[in-house]
Amino acid sequence: MRKHVVIGLTGYTGAGKSVAAQIFRALGAYIIDADELARRVVAPGQPALKEIRRVFGQETFLPDGTLHRRALGSVVFADVQKRKQLERITHPHIAALTRKELQKVDGADVVLDAPVLFEVPEMVKLCDKTMFMDAAPEVRLQRIMERDGISMQEAQRRMDAQTFMEEWKEQCDLIVDNSGEWNRLEEIIQNWMEVQRGRHC
């Protein structure tokens, strides 16, 4: 029986990661959305939420006891050490949820859609292969502006905030330059998945 392939999908904003995930889904892959798992980790009653309250204080919570994301964000984005504290709390829980999701999969290939994949080493270890979505800066800039309805300056700021991901790109098994037409992306993914499936038979 063929072992399912687990693909870690990451990349720059505006490079087409969401479209790539849709293509994988159309090819029969089971998609695990790491952003959705991160939201579940800090849901009411979850252990990570209690740890966040202990470390960051009541001021990062709303009156109803739910996480005040904006308040917490203002703390961690202004202080690298605070951000690392938050990551030490949430990342093990995100990885644990990922493992639970993988256990639900019966035979289908899996795509772990994770914008910050390499910030969670435990998640990287779960992947058989990793794919990085890239595109020319001017193409990404235009896509971000159109997608989010924002100014060129704001789009550029978002791109500048991801320069650290250049190091991640070099660690991936496949780097996809998605500067061209979307149908070309579909062809690349389909061909690559056929190769991966053959290796895991």
pLDDT, tens only, 134-165: 999 999 999 999 998 989 998 998 898 888 88
- Residue 86's nearest CA partner among 33, 49, 138 is 49
- Residue 13's nearest CA partner among 149, 159, 116, 136 is 159
Identical fold for domains 1-29+109-201 and 36-107, yes or no, is yes
Q: Is 7 exposed, middle or buried (0-12, 13-18, 19+ CB in 10 A)?
A: buried
For the segment(s) 1-29+109-201, the CATH number from 3.40.50.720, 3.40.50.300, 3.40.50.970, 1.10.1740.110 is 3.40.50.300
pLDDT surpassing 90 at residue 133 = yes
- Identity (one letter) of the amino acid at 50? K
Give the tokens for residue 161. Answer: 């905030």
Tell me the pTM.
0.82
Average pLDDT over residues 163-168: 88
Question: CA 79, CA 128: separation in Å to the nearest integer?
Answer: 34
CA dihedral over 84, 89, 93, 94, signed as positive or negative: negative
pLDDT surpassing 50 at residue 25 = yes
Residue for token digits 């994949």? 117
Q: What is the domain class of 36-107 according to CATH? A: alpha beta
pLDDT bin (cut points 50, 70, 90) of residue 120 is confident
Q: Is 100 exposed, middle or buried (0-12, 13-18, 19+ CB in 10 A)?
A: exposed
**Residue ranges of the domains in the chain?**
1-29+109-201, 36-107
